[in-house]
């Protein structure tokens, strides 16, 4: 790729981001709503912790366990929403035709969506982290450097699910919009967010081992409860992430090709 | 286009059409609802894959290397919209980036002056009237100074005055840039004024073609509107008895 072509490509990615940044940064209710749900959930689990901690030795040794878990879970949730809601917005706007007739390449659209996902996640989870510190003196950064690994592992898995959901939206239209919100909860029971996956029945444990989030939360428990960071768990999570991300991208690309065959790119909308 | 076919499950929307569009000219694609105009334009734009046939646009195979052509073409269509919560300026800026427009602010300023958008540049697109939206869509379509412009009902929501000014601008733009235009319209006055060639579609097939003047003469009518009705309703034989027998109609 020549330098000029690269500059044009970066400009197109910037255009994808700018289109959504205009919306985000102009509307404070939008910004607040992104941090609202993670913050309320965090507060809920913080009070559960306060209630149980005096009689529970487990929570006495790791008082930030539930708060850390819920904040990291929201990294996964926000990461996924950041990709799929960006796409929902394009469908609602009936803007897909304009995008796919422009010189924007599919990989540039995907990179733009992923960049927006990072931003939305930082705003949403960042707000909740701030309130965790202000209200409960809990800092998620007390996990240290492993936090970066946990964050990355969950974010990339969120991207993969978000791309798969976007593919479903292209295939089934806005009738599948609920998937954008609900898809992630299908994997919640086998992600071991609040409990070790050992407690699951054997068939579900087998599934959990294929879920990157389960390895991340297992690693989080190691850090919070035993002060040990197990790099093997991290590599397992990242390896699975890579596979799921490729699957997500391929599904998305196939669904775009399918939409071009069915002629829905120009007509899809509210 | 050569032998272009688009088949859905049980419907053949475009049934093997072939045509060339003269460079630097405006060609009209006419036909009733469901004749295959939008399907044909969608395939030209690359957002719809044909079931068969080939498309060459500006010397490139549209099915294999459309990304080489896309920076040089643009379009308007009633089937797409611009993001409603973005202002007009924001929308045009985003598309200027997508098309790699040099000096985007200057270009947006030029188009705002041409299309009388100055007063609405800061307003959200969703708050505009249908006519204002049409003008913004046309401005978006001209941002990258396209070599090929596909216009699907470009002046449908405009009052006669603004519609006339838009047509004048498009004619001027074509004269200055040598742009090729393909126009799908139900406004026969617009077709007579702007187009040098007309392709008449019915049920996914080209049933006639020629210049507006030729078609009017051939069908023994006074206006393109009457020619359109004859062809769209399939009443050619009744309206112009003997034309087909004499080999004057395809």
Taking only the tens place, the pLDDT of each residue in B110-130 is: 999 999 999 999 999 999 998
Would B148 be classed as within a structural domain?
A: yes
* CATH code, domain with B61: 3.40.50.300
pLDDT for B236: 59
- pLDDT above 90: percentage of residues in chain A: 76
Would B246 be classed as within a structural domain?
A: no
In this prediction the ipTM stands at 0.88
Average pLDDT over residues B34-62: 93
Would B241 be classed as within a structural domain?
A: no
Structure letter (DSSP) for residue B197: E
Taking only the tens place, the pLDDT of each residue in A109-126 is: 999 999 999 999 999 999
List the single residue in B47, B81, B140 with the smallest CB-CB distance to A93. Answer: B81
Taking only the tens place, the pLDDT of each residue in A54-95 is: 888 888 878 889 999 999 999 999 999 999 999 999 999 999
Would A132 be classed as within a structural domain?
A: yes
Cα–Cα distance for residue pair A100/B236, rounded to 1 Å: 39
Q: How many domains does chain A have?
A: 1
Taking CB atoms and an 8 Å cutoff, what residues of chain B touch A262? 8
Cα–Cα distance for residue pair A109/B211, rounded to 1 Å: 42
Taking only the tens place, the pLDDT of each residue in B160-180 is: 888 898 899 999 999 999 999
Would A121 be classed as within a structural domain?
A: yes
Cβ–Cβ below 8 Å for A98 and B79: no
Taking only the tens place, the pLDDT of each residue in B72-115 is: 999 998 888 999 999 999 999 999 999 999 999 999 999 999 99
**pTM, 2 dp:** 0.91
List the single residue in A11, A97, A269 with the smallest CB-CB distance to B100. Answer: A11
pLDDT for A144: 87
Structure tokens at A127: 């707000």
| Domain hosting residue A218, numbered range | 3-262
| Whole-angstrom Cα Rg for chain B | 19
Q: Work out the pLDDT band at A173, boundaries 50, 70, 90.
A: confident
Taking CB atoms and an 8 Å cutoff, what residues of chain A touch B79? 94, 97, 266-267
CA B231 from centroid of its chain's CA atoms = 20
Q: How many domains does chain B have?
A: 1
Specify the higher pLDDT residue, B33 or A153: A153
Instruction: Give kind and range of the element (H or E) at residue B23.
Output: none
Of B248, B21, B241, B17, give the one whose Cα is nearest residue B150.
Answer: B21
Taking only the tens place, the pLDDT of each residue in A210-230 is: 999 999 999 999 998 888 999
What A133-137 contacts at long range (C-beta under 8 Å, 24+ apart), as own/partner pairs, is A135/A43, A135/A46, A136/A46, A136/A67
| Domain hosting residue B81, numbered range | 2-210
pLDDT for B54: 95
Taking CB atoms and an 8 Å cutoff, what residues of chain B touch A269? 81
Would A46 be classed as within a structural domain?
A: yes
Would B215 be classed as within a structural domain?
A: no
């Amino acid at each position: 790729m020549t330098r000029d072509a690269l500059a044009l490509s970066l400009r197109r990615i910037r255009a994808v981001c700018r289109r959504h940044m205009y919306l985000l940064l102009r509307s404070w209710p939008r910004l607040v709503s992104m941090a609202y749900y993670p913050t309320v959930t965090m507060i809920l689990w913080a009070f559960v912790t306060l209630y149980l901690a005096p009689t529970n030795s487990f929570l006495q040794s790791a008082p930030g366990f539930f708060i850390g878990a819920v904040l990291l879970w929201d990294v996964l949730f926000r990461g996924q929403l950041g990709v799929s809601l960006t796409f929902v917005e394009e469908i609602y706007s009936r803007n897909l035709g304009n995008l796919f007739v422009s010189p924007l390449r599919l990989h540039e659209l995907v990179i733009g969506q992923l960049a927006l996902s990072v931003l939305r996640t930082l705003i949403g989870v960042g707000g909740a982290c701030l309130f965790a510190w202000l209200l409960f003196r809990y800092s998620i950064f007390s996990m240290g450097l492993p936090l970066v690994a946990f964050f990355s592992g969950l974010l990339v898995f969120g991207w993969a699910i978000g791309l798969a959901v976007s593919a479903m939206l292209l295939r089934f239209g806005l009738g599948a919009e609920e998937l954008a919100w609900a898809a992630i909860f299908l994997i919640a029971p086998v992600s071991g967010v609040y409990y070790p996956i050992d407690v699951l029945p054997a068939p579900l444990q087998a599934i959990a081992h294929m879920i990157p989030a389960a390895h991340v939360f297992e690693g989080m428990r190691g850090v919070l409860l035993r002060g040990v960071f197990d790099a093997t768990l991290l590599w397992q999570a990242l390896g699975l992430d890579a596979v799921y991300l490729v699957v997500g991208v391929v599904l998305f690309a196939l669904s775009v090709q399918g939409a071009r065959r069915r002629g829905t790119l120009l007509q899809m909308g509210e | 286009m050569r032998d272009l076919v688009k088949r859905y499950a049980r419907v053949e929307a475009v049934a093997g059409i072939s045509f060339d569009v003269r460079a630097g000219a405006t060609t009209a694609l006419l036909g009733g609802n469901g004749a295959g105009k939008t399907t044909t334009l969608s395939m030209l734009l690359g957002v719809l894959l044909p079931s068969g046939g080939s498309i060459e646009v500006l010397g490139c195979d549209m099915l294999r290397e459309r990304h080489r052509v896309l920076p040089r073409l643009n379009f308007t269509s009633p089937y797409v919209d611009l993001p409603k919560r973005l202002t007009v300026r924001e929308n045009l800026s985003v598309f200027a980036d997508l098309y790699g427009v040099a000096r985007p602010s200057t270009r947006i300023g030029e188009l705002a002056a041409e299309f009388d958008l100055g007063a609405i540049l800061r307003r959200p697109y969703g708050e505009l009237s249908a006519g204002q939206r049409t003008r913004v869509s046309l401005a978006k379509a001209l941002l990258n100074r396209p070599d090929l412009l596909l216009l699907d009902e470009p002046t449908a929501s405009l009052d006669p005055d603004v519609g006339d000014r838009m047509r004048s601008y498009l004619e001027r733009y074509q004269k200055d840039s040598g742009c090729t235009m393909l126009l799908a319209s139900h406004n026969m006055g617009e077709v007579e004024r702007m187009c040098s060639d007309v392709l008449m579609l019915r049920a996914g097939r080209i049933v006639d073609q020629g210049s507006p003047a030729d078609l009017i003469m051939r069908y023994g009518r006074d206006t393109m509107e009457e020619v359109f009705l004859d062809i769209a309703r399939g009443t050619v034989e009744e309206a112009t008895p003997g034309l087909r027998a004499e080999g004057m109609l395809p």
